[in-house]
Amino acid sequence: MKALYKSGPHPGFELVDRPEPTPGLGEVKIRVITAGICGTDLHIESWDQWAASTITAPLIPGHEFYGEVVELGSGVRDVAVGDRVSGEGHIVCGTCRNCRAGRRQMCIRTASVGVQRDGAFAEFVVIPEPNVWVHPAGVTPELGAIFDPFGNAVHTALSFPLVGEDVLITGAGPIGLMAAAVARHAGARYIAVTDVFQPRLDLALAVGADLAVNVATTRIDDAQRQLGMREGFDVGMEMSGHPTALPEMIDNMNHGGRIAMLGLPSADITIDWAKVVTHMLTLKGIYGREMFETWYAMSAMLQSNPVLQQAISSVVTDVLPASQWEQGFNTARNGASGKVVLDWTGF
């Protein structure tokens, strides 16, 4: 099969022939149709400090995908050949305290598809049956390819009640955009989204934000005044990882405000902890998706709200043949587009 391959501990990928994987006990083999490019994949491709400390090459990366089940290992019960599916990329041990308590997203032995085991930037991928998510009719290959990051957005957005609340989202990348759409679906009053790239800010307005703030030229307290707010935002979602984003968010939260943090910091962040204490703020770290409550929630929301499905689908701005993966990675890295998806059906 064709696959993007990280052959060793160095920058770059190679599009090469690799052996097709074979499903083992309780595993499912999937023909990949589409696969999204994630920030994690950018780290692995460039072989930065995080990748060098986390990845053991050789490896096939990629963990956001949509495909068709083509083969079942022995013992598979609830997935059938021909099912159209995506995959939960975190493979858990099942026996640690959190797994046994039903908190599988907090497993202490998590292994990630495309990070610790071969992933979906290939014509075929194999994952355990419990990680397979079977889609209902109506999910397009492009939408199915972004269920993983959509899950991140849903997990972050639904961490706190949103009905009637004023929401600040810092970072209009694909997950921030999807979080804005979810906040609108969930009943937020005002939604402000920040970024420095105008195309992404335009997308934020298109998916349901009330205000798109270019923080290169405008401060968030000015945005509050534009919205007619008086006491600060009730819920914050920090999606960017930029070292200035969280401190400015804290400065613009109402007393008792709640902040969900998904963006991984790109540098050390200095926080006014006195304000966190005296304003009684809540900061909550978010990683991945709740397994599998988030998956049920996002499927139900899409099925019940065609406007939301259209908004989430619109976050995919570029679909390229997998043979043009370098262009896809460059587009994803420049930060001005929405989600970039590779089509693996052309080989």
Catalytic residues: 40, 43
**Radius of gyration over alpha carbons of the chain, in Å?**
20
DSSP state of 173: S
Phi-psi category of residue 47: left, alpha or beta, with phi > 0 → left and psi -120 to 50 → alpha: left
| DSSP secondary structure of 252-297 | TEEEEEEEEE-SPPSS-----HHHHHHTT-EEEE--S--TTHHHHH
Which residues lie across from 282 on neighbouring strands? 258
| DSSP secondary structure of 95-138 | -SHHHHTT-GGG-TT-EEBTTTB--SSBSEEEEEGGGEEEPPTT
Query: β-strand 253-261 against 84-87: which pairing, if any?
Result: unpaired
DSSP-H helix ranges across the chain: 39-46, 49-54, 97-100, 141-145, 147-157, 174-185, 198-207, 220-227, 245-251, 273-278, 293-304, 306-313, 325-333
Cα(284)–Cα(106) distance, integer angstroms: 14
Token readout for 94 is: 């099942």
Q: Which amino acid is at 219?
A: R
**Longest pairwise C-alpha distance within the chain:** 61
